[in-house]
Amino acid sequence: MPKALSDTETEAFRERICQVAAKLFVDEGPAAITMRRLAAEIRCGTMTPYRYYGNKNEIITAIRTRGMHSLAQALEDALDTPGDGRTRSRNVRDAYIDFARRHTATYRLMFEYPETNRDDHGYSQAHARLWRCIAADTQVMIDEGMIEAEAPILGHQVWAALHGAVMLEIAGLLPEGFDAAALHSRTFVALMESASPAHRKDKPSA
């Protein structure tokens, strides 16, 4: 009879399954994530993964849920730092890039796999939390009067630019001398200038 694991040990094993599955996704594609393959990689009994997850989709949902909560926590911590809105936004950017670099396999699985998890309550909560972070980052600068914009819309524009820069860095496709932060800084400045009160005041009405 297998030894009963403590809650800490159970959580550690779940995390191990998620890490291995994310790496398989990046290295070999979604088809590589099977319960039998996971058991072989982790060196456990063939049926052991089923004690923690019912199937492959549950594992993928768990990876994405855990990843989004971890990323959101990092962004929340970065936003809750001293300084003006632009300084705090830069801290958020750096935290985002740091997460993507340290957890590249999880990051890619979070955003490259088709969206099929919306009916999972835990995943939906994680997804909503991350979206709130994206809007909150921009809302700080709106509240300070630095820019005029709809926080969710501009926040997603900033996020799209940052995600693009991060993926180009991961793929090794950035111009020489640039990393994700350097490339995104230029895009960020342009977005902030377009949303500045002075720019909007001078812009002719349609």
90-104 pLDDT, tens digit per residue, is 999 999 999 999 999
Q: Is the pTM of this model over 0.85?
A: yes
My answer on whether 89 and 148 are in the same domain is yes
Give the pLDDT score at 52. 94
My answer on whether 109 and 14 are in the same domain is no
Inform me whether the pLDDT recorded for 106 exceeds 60: yes
My answer on whether 30 and 78 are in the same domain is no
169 domain residue, yes or no: yes
SS (H, E, C) the chain: CCCCCCHHHHHHHHHHHHHHHHHHHHHHCHHHCCHHHHHHHHCCCCCHHHHCCCCHHHHHHHHHHHHHHHHHHHHHHHHCCCCCHHHHHHHHHHHHHHHHHHCHHHHHHHHHCCCCCCCCHHHHHHHHHHHHHHHHHHHHHHHCCCCCCCHHHHHHHHHHHHHHHHHHHHHCCCCCCCCHHHHHHHHHHHHHHHCCHHHHHHCCCC
Average pLDDT over residues 27-33: 93
Average pLDDT over residues 129-152: 95
Domain extent, residue 113, equals 64-202
pLDDT per residue as tens digits for the range 64-80: 999 999 999 999 999 99
My answer on whether 170 and 103 are in the same domain is yes
59 domain residue, yes or no: no
Percent of the chain beyond pLDDT 90? 85
Read off the CATH number of the domain in which 3 is found. Answer: 1.10.10.60
